[in-house]
Chain A
Amino acid sequence: MNPSNPDIQLTAYALGELPEDERRAVEARIQADPALQAAVDEIRALAAQLETELAGEPAPALSDAQRQAILDASAGGGGRLARFPWRRLTGFAAVAAAVTLVFGGVFWTATRSLHGTLLARIDEKGEMAIMEYEEQQLDELLEELSPPDELADLVIPVAPPEVEMGMTPPPDIQEFAAAPVMYEVAELEIASERLSPKPKTMPDVSAPAAHGISGAEAVGSVNGKAFPADGRDRMQRVSASGIVVAGRQDDSWIKLGKAPAHMTVSFQDAPSTLANRAAGRASSLRGYGGGIPACCPPPDGIPPLSNTESYAPIEGNAFKSILEEPLSTFSIDVDTASYANIRRFLQAGQLPPPDAVRIEEMINYFPYTYEPPREGVPFAVHVESAACPWAPSHALVKIGLKGRDLDAESRPPCNLVFLIDVSGSMSSENKLPLVKKSLRLLARQLTENDRVSIVVYASATGLVLPPTPGSQLAAINAAIDNLQAGGSTAGGAGIRLAYDQARETFLKDGNNRVILCTDGDFNVGITDSDELASFIAERAKQGIFLTILGFGMGNYKDDRLETLSNKGNGNYAYIDTFSEARKNLAEQAAGTLFTIAKDVKLQIEFNPARFASYRLVGYENRLLAKEDFNDDQKDAGELGAGHTVTAFYELIPHGVEPPAPAVDPLKYQPQPAAEEEPAAPAIDLENASPEWLTVKLRYKLPDQDTSTKIEVPFTGTFSDFSEASADFRFAAGVAAAGYLMRHDSAVHSIGFPDVVDCTAAATGPDPEGYRREFIDLLKNAAVLDCP
């Protein structure tokens, strides 16, 4: 065993792991030393206790459908998974997603590594073509490489980096660090001059690259095969050029090889996709470096491994001086997920963690009765003001957008293709069964002019409902009822089939849309979200939009789905209960299905003559730079038919002390004396405009690429809060509740009971009961807030 360390040997002895000769030797030692015998007894007792307790540890079980899929596979002899080996490139894509890489003249091949024989190579043009390369053949090939019983004898493990499972290493090293690693790198003959120069943002690749080298050496020596002696040099050349060469340690080997130079992999898009939208999110992302992966706490009554709910900090918008920053720019947001999360906490008798509270998502959860726009304009802008309920010396200004409504008669016909994930993971009650109920709801609203098709993807991809007029409800419902979960996920073929289907039945003046229902485990084979995003964006240009309905999913795929739906000029709804399905697919179906404006941005210019400073309530992750407003390349939020969007500004008039800044005076820098402060530009109050602010709004119609601007000047009144409209008072109450849950220092004069009073008097008609439900939640919060 390891005779050099008698303690380790003793443990092995106690566990019956020693070969005969060593066992005898240890036995002799134990005879002579009663302390050793005691130690052995202790180890065995502990082992027995571990065995007992571990045996009872709960575990998930396969679903019946999953089990059946396995047995079917063995009976049918096929058992082939429609799996995309390309996802094995995911890690590579992740590295690349952090940077911008362009490979010229590089192609991927899979090799039979142990013999160094080239078995498959891919040299089609472009990413999509690569996807379609006989995937099964390659899959089999990779599979063949995997049997561990053969590998175990061959592999010299490279010293694994000290990364523990369950933790999330930064993306640039996780590819290399998650497990014992074996790489094969062979025939690296990439002309380094063809590689793009190292981008400035390139993560430090020296360590991973070095790791790859040692892997190559280890394998080489095991095989007794002379791997290129200059492999090290080549690797270094490559890494110096800023390219990370990543092998996969589990069951596949990927190498970079010399190739006919015609494939270009561009990873340029993904970072910018999010970067655009999240210019203001940067601050809230600060926490993620050391973050715990936010995966879903397990259902099924399985004890959680650890506290997996982690919340990135939200930096609340601070008050800004109008003189210094007169412009405030942000993208609209019609998401409501944060509200659902807060509801879950309060219903369970807990105040939500402050960082889980996104005020704008709370406010926008509720429908408001704004006047619809006049004919020919996609939406109306409504601005209203009153004294701020939590700081009566401040003014509160509400900006409300109302999208044009579509009535059933005048709405364009729909060509809907449902793309449904029926993989095994969808089997739980809040997934596929809820999908079915949701689709039935939606189908009920269709007419004979509409067309519905259903495509499923899992182990197999198929069209389960050919294009059917919406009037044939029985046929549609029958197809929905027949959906069953089973098999593993492989969405790539599915999404293409869905879009092909949508194109086949394309309605020229209609609403052509793919509706993806998934739990987020949406592995589209195209793997890196750039490829998928560009695929979806391209189809969106051809007039086929994408709606994503997320079901029962864990946390971290959400942004991906949201990004994809944005690329597809669509929207994204999270459906956790039948009530949410009803809200999104029945009551507000038009908003979900019909986009009336895209890339909707708001820019507010404040009049320094009227107010000293302002802060935007919420929208921290939707802030845009002021230059982005007129930049039509900058993506922003979509607005669906009938949707409302509401935003608040809190304004501080001149002469009112702003809430004290929480910053100590600097110690090592001279304090600018009061008289040295730059004199404020003189504002001629006599002749200044009486306007408080101007709302500028840019939007594009769904089929346009250039934006239209609307300007709405606003002159407010400092009226009493109680005189404001019910919508204003209710929404302001929601904002106040959000601030209280965020422990905002500027909102301390009121408490939850005040908010209950304020909102209870402002429920309006509330036909669906959303507002009353909120008030009920607030009462929970009021009780929980008491120490």
Chain B
Amino acid sequence: MKRDLSHWLQDMVARYERPLCQYAYRITGNPEHARDAVQDTFLRLCRKGVLPDDHVVPWLFRVCRNRCIDIIRKEQPMEPLTDARAAVLPAPDPSPAEQAGLREAVSLLLQKLAELPARQAEVIRLKFQHHLSYREIAAVTALSESNVGVLIHTGIQTLRRQAAQL
């Protein structure tokens, strides 16, 4: 049984590490936090045990999302007190110049996506990057299925309009 779990988990990590990291990074905006959240998610999965195939994806994304929010929240309470300090501390790489270059590398469509309201962008990513159904997205985000439909529709409409203008 343990052997099975181990194999299964290995498979899960191989399949979902990258999608979860992408997702977590979008929420936390910080690769370290994203990594921690994803590791935490898998450790929880390990304790949870083998899940049926159709459950595991929403489970992973949901738990991962919660871990991210937890981490963000954990970080934030001190934040208002620290803004002034934060302003003068060295930030790690990449350097400002490198950042500018990287920013240019992002396609126009993804830039527009990033300008959408965060919730719309999130469900659009879950749909088109991670291929979750409306129903699964609803389970992950704790929104209703029809709410997800509205968010995706609204986001897609905005992107279509912007694409037409270009």
- Picked from B10, B89, B98, B141, the residue with its CB within 8 Å of the CB of A555 is B89
Q: Which residues of A contact B109 (CB under 8 A)?
A: 49-50, 53
CB of B34 within 8 A of CB of A60, answer yes
Residues of A within 8 Å of B36, CB to CB, are: 423-425, 488-489, 521
Contact (Cβ within 8 A) A350 B21: no
A276-313 vs B, Cβ < 8 Å mask (1 yes, 0 no): 00100100110110010111111111111111111110
Listed stretches A40-48, A112-120, A471-479, A692-700; interface member: A40-48
Assess the B92–A296 pair: CB atoms within 8 A. yes
**A94 on the interface (CB 8 Å rule)?**
yes
- The residues of B that contact A51 with a CB separation of less than 8 Å are 128-129, 131
Q: Are B79 and A424 in contact (CB under 8 A)?
A: no
Residue A74 CB within 8 A of the other chain: yes
In A325-370, which residues have CB < 8 Å from any B CB? 337-338, 340-341, 344-345, 347-350, 355-358, 361
For A93, what are the chain B residues with a Cβ–Cβ distance below 8 Å?
Answer: 77
CA distance A574 to B90 in the complex (A): 9
- By Cβ-Cβ distance, the 6 closest A-B pairs, closest first, are A94-B77, A148-B62, A60-B31, A559-B82, A250-B66, A164-B118
Residues of B within 8 A of A293 (CB): 75-76, 79
**Is the beta-carbon distance between B35 and A74 smaller than 8 angstroms?**
no
Among listed A1-9, A227-235, A758-766, interface-contacting one: A1-9
The dominant DSSP class at the A interface is loop
Q: Which residues of B contact A338 (CB under 8 A)?
A: 88-89
Instruction: Please name 16 further chain A to chain B contacts, defined as beta carbons within 8 Å, in addition to the given A53-B107, A71-B9, A348-B95, sorted by A numbering.
Output: A8-B149, A47-B128, A53-B110, A62-B13, A87-B74, A148-B62, A151-B142, A152-B142, A157-B142, A285-B84, A295-B75, A297-B94, A301-B98, A350-B97, A523-B74, A555-B86
CA distance A148 to B79 in the complex (A): 29
What are 10 pairs between A and B in contact, CB < 8 Å?
A2-B150, A43-B156, A79-B46, A285-B83, A291-B83, A341-B89, A357-B88, A424-B39, A552-B92, A574-B89
Partner pick for B25 among A69, A302, A621, CB 8 A cutoff? A302
- Interface check A727, CB cutoff 8 A: no
Most buried by A among B29, B44, B92: B92
Residue among A5, A152, A310 with the most chain B CB within 10 A? Answer: A152
Min CB distance B86 to A, Å, is 4
Distance in Å from the Cβ of A290 to the closest Cβ of chain B?
A: 11
Q: State the CA gap A43–B115 with chains docked (Å).
A: 19
Question: Taking CB as reference atom, which chain A residue is nearest B31?
Answer: A60
- Assembled-state Cα–Cα distance A93/B125 (Å): 33
Residues of B contacting A61 with CB < 8 Å? 17-18, 21, 35
Whether the pair A148, B86 counts as a contact (CB closer than 8 A) is no
Can you name the residue of chain B whose Cβ is closest to the Cβ of A175?
A: B73
> Residue on A with the closest CB to B78?
A560
Q: How distant is the Cα of A305 from the Cα of B24 in the complex, in angstroms?
A: 12
| Nearest chain B CB to A64 CB, angstrom units | 12
Chain B residues near A553: list those with CB within 8 A.
92
A70, A249, A309, A521 pick with most chain B CB within 10 angstroms = A70
Q: Is the CB of A556 within 8 A of B74?
A: no
Q: Counting CB contacts under 8 A, is A80 at the interface?
A: yes
Known contacts: A66-B39, A146-B63, A559-B78. The answer to whether A50 contacts B46 by CB under 8 A is: no
CA of A54 to CA of B132, assembled, Å: 14
Q: Which residues of B contact A7 (CB under 8 A)?
A: 153, 157
Q: Which residues of A contact B99 (CB under 8 A)?
A: 297, 303-304, 307
CB atoms of B92 and A312 under 8 A apart: no
Closest chain A CB from B44 CB (angstroms): 7
State whether the Cβ of A751 lies closer than 8 Å to any Cβ in chain B: no
Cβ contact of B96, chosen from A182, A250, A311, A345, cutoff 8 A: A345
Chain A residue nearest in CB terms to B39: A66
Q: Is B83 in contact with A519, judged by CB distance below 8 angstroms?
A: no
- Cβ of B114: which chain A residues have Cβ within 8 Å of it? 305-306
* B95 contact from A12, A17, A344, Cβ within 8 A: A344
Q: How far is the CB of B15 from chain A (nearest CB, A)?
A: 13
Q: Could you tell me the distance between the alpha carbons of A7 and B153 in the complex, rounded to whole angstroms?
A: 8
A309 to B46, CA, bound (A): 37
Contact with A along B37-67 (1 / 0, CB 8 A): 0111011101110010001001100110110
Interface pair A312/B84, CB less than 8 Å apart: yes
Given A70-B43, A303-B103, A556:B78 Cβ within 8 A: yes
A residues 762-781 touching B (CB-CB < 8 Å):
none
B39 touches A250 (CB 8 A): no
A446 to B122: give the CA distance in the assembly, Å.
Answer: 53
Given known A71-B13, A288-B84, A310-B83, contact A488–B78 (CB-CB < 8 A) = no
Interface residues of B in 103-145 (CB under 8 A from A): 103, 105-107, 109-110, 113-114, 117-119, 122, 124-125, 127-129, 131, 133-134, 138-144
Which residues on A sit within 8 Å (CB–CB) of B47? 73, 79-80, 143
Scan residues 147-162 of chain A and give those whose CB is less than 8 A from a CB of chain B: 147-149, 151-152, 155, 157, 160
With contacts A148-B140, A250-B70 taken as known, whether A521 is within 8 angstroms of B32 at the C-beta atoms is yes
Known pairs A164-B119, A165-B118; A62 contacts B149 (CB<8 A): no
B90 touches A278 (CB 8 A): no
Which residue of A is nearest B95, CB measured?
A348
A506–B62 Cα distance when bound, in Å, is 48
Which B residues are in CB contact (< 8 Å) with A67? Answer: 13, 17
Please name all residues of chain A whose beta carbon is closer than 8 Å to the beta carbon of B107 when the two chains form the complex.
53
Which of A166-174, A206-214, A728-736 contacts its partner? A166-174
Chain B residue contacts of A377, Cβ below 8 A = none
B1 to chain A, nearest CB (A): 9
Q: Across the two chains, which residue of chain A brings its CB closest to B2?
A: A77
CA distance A147 to B35 in the complex (A): 21
A650: Cβ under 8 A from any B Cβ: no
- Give the distance in Å from the alpha carbon of A526 to the alpha carbon of B10 in the complex: 34
Q: Does A786 contact B (CB under 8 A)?
A: no
Whether B166 is near chain A, meaning CB under 8 Å from some CB there, is: no
Residues of B within 8 A of A588 (CB): none
A11 at the interface (CB under 8 A from B): yes
Q: How many whole Å from B155's CB to the nearest CB in chain A?
A: 10
Contact in complex: B76, A171 (CB < 8 Å) = yes
What is the distance, in angstroms, from B88's C-beta to the closest C-beta of chain A? Answer: 4
List chain B residues, Cβ under 8 A from A344: 90-91, 95
